[in-house]
Structure 1
Amino acid sequence: MPPITSPVTAQELEILSTKAIEAKGRAYCPYSKFHVGACILTASGEFVVGANVENAAYPVGTCAERVAFGTAIVAGHKEFKALAVATDIRPAASPCGMCRQFIREFTTPSFPVYMYDADGAYKVMTIGELLPDSFGPEDLPK
């Protein structure tokens, strides 16, 4: 598999990781104790964060990635350069299946997802690698 050509600069990646790790600290996860933070870099250069928000009715909770994308979409963003996700485990956790499809709705298969572990080390994969044979809005009949 060829290496991912990052659409982000070293400085943007530093900000992405810092903001995702900071957002993790604001997660509301009294049940699972599984803190997740996310940060999206928009095509216009803005950073949008999210954290997981749990609920006593477990299925009602929302993942950090979906919080960040929802916030970005409501703010008017439609194009994105990269996503960082941070957790407190080793190795780094990838977005769940529901989040993978949610991310794919707003991105292309080449969209990079940087996954940070408890030590700040990361692994990067494209959404196409995380969700092979996916489909997006461009694949549906017009």
Structure 2
Amino acid sequence: MNPTEAQWQALLDAARAAREKAYAPYSHFHVGAALLDEAGRVHAGCNVENAAYPEGVCAEAGALSGLVLAGGQQIVAAVVVGEGTEPVTPCGGCRQKLREFAGATLPIRIADSQGWRAEHTLAALLPASFGPTHLMMKKDGRDAP
């Protein structure tokens, strides 16, 4: 499924709105993310920091929780919104989290308050990734390729 421009706009709007709700009192680095699932539903999330710094939650992880809660099983498109001199792409951990629910061709658009900054596939951001198929077994008990 290729997202329509209307779906991309809905994702952008949802990610921007989520970014406005981010809880980032320590870094002041607000991020919003939105995911489109296989049913055409949009799931948004924002980063939530914690005084115990590594215990925070990234925006993409929050959006993934919403996707799973709604019964979604596949990410069709993703948008990440953040302000920076460089486009704000998902961190390494979130790239792996996205991989759990998407394949190599997942389109990920990056934006800020001014507009679109970049577009990547998940494969470009996470080459030679490890995913769910690596843990599946063949019927005869041997490892899957």
Same fold (TM over 0.5): yes
Task: Output the CA distance in 2 between the equivalents of 1:105 and 1:135.
Answer: 9
Alignment-derived partner of residue 2 in structure 2? 7
Provide Cα deviations, 1:89-135, integer angstroms capped at 9, x if missing partner: 23321100000111101110111111112422231101110000101
Task: Output the CA distance in 2 between the equivalents of 1:22 and 1:68.
Answer: 13
Alignment-derived partner of residue 73 in structure 1? 68
Task: Output the CA distance in 2 between the equivalents of 1:81 and 1:46.
Answer: 10
- Indicate the structure (1 or 2) with the bigger Cα radius of gyration: 2
Task: Output the CA distance in 2 between the equivalents of 1:68 and 1:90.
Answer: 24
Task: Say what the alpha-carbon RMSD is for the aligned residues.
Answer: 1.2
Q: Determine helix, strand or coil for the equivalent of 2:23.
A: coil
Q: Determine helix, strand or coil for the equivalent of 2:14.
A: helix
Mapping for residues 14-25 of structure 1, pairs under 5 Å: 14-25=9-20
Alignment-derived partner of residue 3 in structure 1? none
Task: Output the CA distance in 1 between the equivalents of 2:13 and 2:113.
Answer: 13
TM-score, structure 2 as length reference: 0.90
Provide Cα deviations, 1:57-87, integer angstroms capped at 9, x if missing partner: 0011000001101121122110221010000
Mapping for residues 42-61 of structure 1, pairs under 5 Å: 42-61=37-56
CA contact (8 A) 2:46 2:60 kept: yes
Alignment-derived partner of residue 32 in structure 2? 37
Structure 1 gaps of 5+ residues are 1-5
Structure 2 gaps of 5+ residues are 138-145
CA contact (8 A) 1:92 1:118 kept: no
TM-score, structure 1 as length reference: 0.92
